[in-house]
Amino acid sequence: MNSVASTLNRVTDMEFNNQISVLTQHNWNTWKHDMQVLLMHYGCWQFIIQTKPEQPDEEATYKEKLDLQLRKNRCYTLIYTNISSDLKNLITETTDGVAAWKILNDHFEPISLD
């Protein structure tokens, strides 16, 4: 079974009740895949991969603008509530999910200058 299918099975088994394992210093690879699926389920993953504009269209209705802001807030909330308390200090300076994801990714997957 490939990685995505395995992750989908794990998350499906959790019935999307936000009960993925919290991120620790030792489970980044598993956690990032579980979190990706959780963010996809809640319509937030497109913010992380930047396929959706961060600002609503000028012609967007109030409801569309509110929905966008709620999904952006949910993106950060899901990340923050699913990391261990000793890692929360890494992302406490932001409330943006995209920034939080980048901070965590840079922490666990530093760029090598070899």
- pTM: predicted TM-score of the whole model, two decimal places: 0.78
Per-residue pLDDT reduced to its tens digit, 20-51:
999 999 999 999 999 999 999 999 999 999 86
Q: Which residues contact 84 (CB under 8 A, 6 or more apart)?
A: 22, 23, 24
Q: How big is the chain, counted in residues?
A: 114
Residue 23's SS3 state is strand
What pLDDT score was predicted for residue 11?
55
**In the predicted model, what is the mean pLDDT of the chain?**
86
pLDDT exceeding 70 applies to what percent of the chain?
79
Measured between its terminal Cα atoms, the distance across the chain in Å is 33
Which secondary-structure segment (H or E) carries 74?
A: helix 62-81
For residue 37, which of 84, 4, 1 has the smallest C-alpha distance?
A: 4
